[in-house]
């Protein structure tokens, strides 16, 4: 006997297929945390300038951290159906992952009725875009991606960790 997985239901669509904001008013407030990553690839000599703080525009990594935190706090303005959340904490970790690659990790935390996956994804994306903006004069071929959820905890759907 084979088991079929349950049908996928998209929470942001109503019964007629119209977009809607999910009603979370009956859900309990719990601690929620999510981490998302972004990769930024550029010429290694440009990445050398970036990590040494010697870019003409200044400390690009500090700008990227602030951009990621600020964007995570304003996710509902970026993504129309996201709930505006009061974030308890947002952290941006940026490190060199390879001679030509930067790894950005954004972690968001709150106590609330809905998760912070989108906040982590938006924070990682904005930090990557800020790096691009600060480095584009030195390298027009910078690439960003993938941007992906790494892990989440809390909430009805349980924990998730990318393998």
pLDDT tens-digit readout, 18-31: 777 787 888 889 99
Looking at the domain that runs over 30-150, which CATH code has it been given? 3.30.70.640
Report the pLDDT value the prediction gives residue 89, as an integer from 0 to 100. Answer: 98
Position 9 confidence tier, pLDDT thresholds 50, 70, 90: low
What are the domain boundaries of the chain?
Answer: 30-150
**Residue 118: C-alpha distances to residues 113, 137, 157 (Å):** 14, 30, 15
When pLDDT is averaged across residues 83-96 and rounded to a whole number, the result is: 97
Position 57 confidence tier, pLDDT thresholds 50, 70, 90: confident
pLDDT surpassing 80 at residue 6: no
Phi, psi of 105 (to 5 degrees): -125, 125
More confident residue, 5 or 98: 98
Q: Of 26, 48, 133, 159, which residue is the catalytic one?
A: 133
133 in active site: yes
pLDDT surpassing 80 at residue 97: yes
Note if the pTM is more than 0.85: yes
Report the pLDDT value the prediction gives residue 12, as an integer from 0 to 100. Answer: 64
Report the pLDDT value the prediction gives residue 95, as an integer from 0 to 100. Answer: 97
Nearest to 68 by CA among 132, 111, 115: 132
Q: Which residue has the tokens 């903006």?
A: 133
Taking the CA of residue 112 as centre, how many other CA atoms within 13 Å lie in the half-sphere pointing to its CB? 18
* For residue 146, cis peptide bond before it (omega within 30 degrees of 0): yes
Mean of per-residue pLDDT scores for the chain: 91
- DSSP SS3 for 118: helix
């Amino acid at each position: 006997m084979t088991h079929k997985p349950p049908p996928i239901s998209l929470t942001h669509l109503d019964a007629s297929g119209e977009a809607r904001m999910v009603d979370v008013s009956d859900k309990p407030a719990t601690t929620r945390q999510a981490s998302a990553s972004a990769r930024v690839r550029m010429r290694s000599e440009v990445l050398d300038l970036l990590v040494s703080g010697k870019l003409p525009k200044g400390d690009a990594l500090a700008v990227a951290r602030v951009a990621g935190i600020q964007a995570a706090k304003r996710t509902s303005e970026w993504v129309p159906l996201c709930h505006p959340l009061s974030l308890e904490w947002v952290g941006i970790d940026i490190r060199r992952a390879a001679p030509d690659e930067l790894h950005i990790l954004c972690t968001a935390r709150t106590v609330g009725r809905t998760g912070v996956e989108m906040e982590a994804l938006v924070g990682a994306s904005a930090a990557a875009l800020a790096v691009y903006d600060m480095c584009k004069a030195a390298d027009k071929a910078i690439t960003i991606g993938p941007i992906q959820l790494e892990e989440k905890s809390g909430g009805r759907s349980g924990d998730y960790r990318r393998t």
